[in-house]
Amino acid sequence: MAIQTLIRKRGFILYDDAHTSHASEELFSPRHWLRHASLRGAVGGRGNTWIVSGGNDAWVLRHYRRGGLARTFSQDYYLWMGLERTRPWREWRLLSALYKEGLPVPQPVAAQVLRYGLVYRGDLITRLIPDTRSLAARLQDAGIEGPPWERIGACIRRFHDAGVFHADLNAHNILIGGRSEVYLVDFDRGERRSPGVLWQQANLARLQRSLRKLAIPGLAAGHVWPLLLNGYNNKSV
């Protein structure tokens, strides 16, 4: 395995040649995958994420789009402050490090940054984690008794103990496997930090607010949150 960086006319591509021997802008184009009958479907709420068939693998292709109030001014352009500070580059490198450390994250395949003067656009490809569903989807189908709450808490604690801050820890970015395996995805704006109670508790509070917004019967009452905290505090679930 070797990490390759390509410089193109309009930008840069970072990729792992263990997963693809050829990297180009087409790799990040949903139209390209659609023409080759390899676009398997769109996921996510913003219309910026697709599942594609990449060789013998299934990949998740995500185009970086702004959320919240920032979308009013620009949907997918970000201020250029150097290649290493772009969102795709930072997320790719963070995921690569976490995956090598054995943390349950998707393996990065390729990242692209296209520069337009003082701004840029970006994309990221990761390997699809098979046979998983988001915590939000699991709750919609099985209710509050379905998810492995203690395992979810223990998984989050692993990341916190490793000093990993997830900027958008919510029920959509936690994946549950068929054997109750737990993964975290979407590390845009994530970073390594010195372990600290304040940011770790704020991370958990963000997840708790996310769960309350789902309006699942029984979830707002908070009966399952102590189970998650039990897993978080025990770490050995």
Nearest to 71 by CA among 91, 48, 89: 48
| SS3 (DSSP) at 199 | helix
Alpha carbon distance 155, 232 (integer Å): 7
H or E stretch at 95: helix 87-100
Q: Phi and psi for 38 in degrees, rounded to 5?
A: -115, 5
- Cα–Cα distances (Å) from 33 to 8, 48, 72, 83, in that order, read 20, 14, 29, 26
Alpha carbon distance 65, 49 (integer Å): 10
- Considering the candidates 161, 168, 186, 188, report the single residue annotated as catalytic: 168
- Residue 141 is among the residues annotated as catalytic for this protein: no
**Widest distance between CA atoms in the chain:** 55
Alpha carbon distance 140, 136 (integer Å): 6
User: First CA to last CA across the chain, in angstroms?
Assistant: 33
- Cα–Cα distances (Å) from 119 to 12, 86, 122, in that order, read 14, 10, 10
Neighbouring C-alpha atoms within 13 Å toward the C-beta of 159: 30
Q: Which residues are catalytic?
A: 168
